Amino acid sequence: MIVRLIHPLEFRLQRTDQRPKICLSDHAIRATQLDEPVPLAPAQLTDDPNLATIAGHLAKSTFGGALADAPSLSVHHRPQRGSTAEIDYLLSVGDHLVPVEVKYQRNVDLNRDARA
Amino acid sequence: MVIAGSSALRIERGRDSLTGRIHTVNAPILSLSEIARFRGIGPLEPFLNDNGYANLRHHDFWQQLAQHGRDHADARDEAFSHFSQYGGYPFAHSTSHTDLTSLNGRITENVVQRMLRHDLQGSLLHPDLDPQLLSLVFSLACRYAGQAPSHSSLVKQVNRPFDDGALQGANCMSSWTAP
């Protein structure tokens, strides 16, 4: 499976934004299909800082794609809703929900970036 | 008797539905520790065991994972650098020197075209898929990787090159994004 759709988690049967998050199994597929290689390694990104935003999306895609392949692990995301901030991924492990925020940047502000 | 195959969508061509007798085995791309092993980097042992997902719910696990990363930073960064440049398919790391042109050709032929032409178009689930439309939708999926684009914006982009096939594009996108 080279494309995975991560669907939003439904809370208390409330209707949420139904947009799935698109995850690729490998960012090299994107580079080949669009003829647009985007490196992920920080050292390679310094050559073209404009690609940093796309690299951030690809980091989220790679993380989601890897987890979607994991057996016995349910993966969702939570889109922004009103004043409730978005959560990149929600992992259902048994009866536990583990929120995961993927930040692909040099400096992470835990107060600001992990608000959700 | 065991019947194995990677073109799972074609299994419908058989007379038997095989309900309850199908098991999917996912073969994901190489992990960083596997890339390190392929390229002789390391040691870089995986921190998460194959059946260790229950540990994800423990706060300690994430802290120890971060420490594991710091402890093996050199090997991790070198393996990640190769992953960054070549991706995670095994054939990208089977030799020490990877030719990017050849790699792109193999990914196009063995992964992308195989899925678009053989698995999806050949499937009885979607016998009417337009190859051009399919390729366009796949390109959009690549373009929006890691994001959750709205249905309407995707439909708009799909329909743009298909003046006469707007309805077909919209229908395809509806079935594609349905949960």
Task: List helix spans (H) across chain A.
Answer: 27-34, 42-45, 52-68, 110-113
| pLDDT tens, residue by residue, A38-95 | 999 988 888 787 889 999 999 999 999 998 888 778 999 998 877 888 899 999 988 8
The minimum CA-CA distance between B164 and chain A, rounded to whole Å, is 25
- Of B72, B62, B112, nearest in space to B89 by CA: B112
Q: How far is B54 from chain A (nearest CA, A)?
A: 6
Residue to mutate among B23, B24, B26, B29, with most A CBs inside 10 A, is B29
ipTM over 0.85? The verdict is: yes
91-110 in chain A: CB under 8 A from chain B: 91, 93-94, 96, 98
Note the pLDDT of residue B178: 46
Q: Which residues of A fall within a CB distance of 8 Å from B53?
A: 70-73, 93
* Tens of pLDDT, residues A9-19: 887 666 666 78
**Token pair recorded at residue A95:** 């009866």
How far is it, in rounded angstroms, from Cα A104 to Cα B73?
17
Q: Are B44 and B76 in contact (CB under 8 A)?
A: yes
pLDDT tier for residue B9 given thresholds of 50, 70 and 90: low
* A55 contacts A45 by C-beta, under 8 angstroms: yes
Question: Alpha carbon B169 to chain centroid distance?
Answer: 23
Answer yes or no: do B179 and A28 touch at CB < 8 A.
no
Nearest in space to A57 (alpha carbons), one of A37, A91, A27 = A27
Most confident of A20-24, A109-113, B128-132: A20-24
Residue B89 contacts residue A26 (beta carbons within 8 Å): yes
Q: Which of A20, A24, A73 sits opposite B145 (nearest CB)?
A: A24
First-to-last alpha carbon distance for chain A, in angstroms, is: 30
